Amino acid sequence: MSKLFQPTQAGDIALKNHIVMAPLTRNRSPGAVPNDQNVEYYRQRATAGLIITEATAITHQGQGYADVPGLYSKEALDGWKRVTDAVHAEGGKIVVQMWHVGRISHNTLQPADGKPVSSTNRVAKAKTYLVNADGTGSFADTSEPRALETAEIPGIIEDYRKAARAAINAGFDGVEIHGANGYLLDQFMRDGVNDRTDEYGGSIENRARFTLQVVEAVTKEIGARRTAIRISPVTPSGESYDSNPQALFAYVVENLAKYDLAYIHVVEGQTGGERDYRQGDNPSFDYKALRAAYEKAGGKAAWMVNNGYNKDMAVETVENGTADLVAFGKPFISNPDLVERLEKNLPLNTPDQSTFYGGGAKGYLDYPLLEKVA
């Protein structure tokens, strides 16, 4: 049997295989509260070695898309407890991806219709998902943000800490800090977005400060071995850009190495697009050098890779030690039993992209399982 399908470990989390269900926004939690459909969706996919939930807002201010879940109300946490119980009953493991979208939001999703917050006052040329008065969903331009005051940042770090504790209390096996894809922490890290002149702007050390302070707070609260982080060194999501991503993310992972984290989750290339994506005059990003920098600094967390992997790539990557865990996204949408299909070399269901965002059970709970196909 390939190593891909054998048990492994990510910090304190014992996994039955090296296959991870990537975080996938589906916009099916009205009121930011997980519901019966969400419980069944995650239960169906519990054969993954690890499930990472859809991105989940740490606060109301952290919300950026309609009908995505949160971690900041009793109702939401009760809903998540039902999800974690269902996954555990099937022998699965699940972590929550903790999210603050920053400027990738709309004022109608913010407390008191306020401005989204960011490292900058500049509007992102990006879209968010809203629900219209008639109940249909559509994409809309993001709203004008405001740059966070320096004095506000400790409060958001505290929000991450509280959300991490709430997640563990709701039964999650750990948390993944979302530091990728052009959301708040990424907005601070990248010099193409961060135009600050305070201690959180300018140098790489300053721009990485917020992210590393969040990691410090979360690991102190729930333990490093139940804490993970996701980064996307070159993906342009949310109009993100950095003039020297190799140096920036080498610094980030070198500083993460002092924590005995569960895993580092790396999006290779452009999320959902080119694996060798590069921005402007930047050379191809060297992911092997990134991991080498992490390990040279003493890092021992499991290394997770993501973006466009198929079975053959995943098998080779795990067998040769390039990575410890491989995350699959869209294939898990349409194949709840993806692990078995990969292991037995069986055909995969094709995902219906028209049902990715919003809606009901169609394209969410009704993809055929193997026993119904046979």
Type and span of the H or E element at 141: strand 137-141
**What does the alpha-carbon distance between residue 80 and residue 69 come to, in Å, rounded to a whole number?**
9
Whether 183 sits among the annotated catalytic residues: the reply is yes
CA atoms lying within 13 Å on the CB side of residue 304: 31
Contact 230, 180 (CB under 8 A): yes
**What does the alpha-carbon distance between residue 253 and residue 204 come to, in Å, rounded to a whole number?**
12
3-state secondary structure 293-316: HHHHCCCCCEEEEECCCCHHHHHH
Cα 75–142–59 angle (5° rounding)? Answer: 25
Tokens of residue 215, six digits: 């990691």
Ramachandran area for residue 102 (φ above 0: left; ψ -120 to 50: alpha; else beta): left
Contact 288, 255 (CB under 8 A): no
Cα 352–353–358 angle (5° rounding)? Answer: 105
**What does the alpha-carbon distance between residue 238 and residue 180 come to, in Å, rounded to a whole number?**
10
**Pick from 114, 31, 17: nearest CA to 324:** 17
CA 206 to chain centre: 23
Residue of 42, 65, 129, 183 marked active site: 183
Q: φ, ψ for residue 198 (rounded to 5)? A: -90, -165
- Residues marked as catalytic: 183
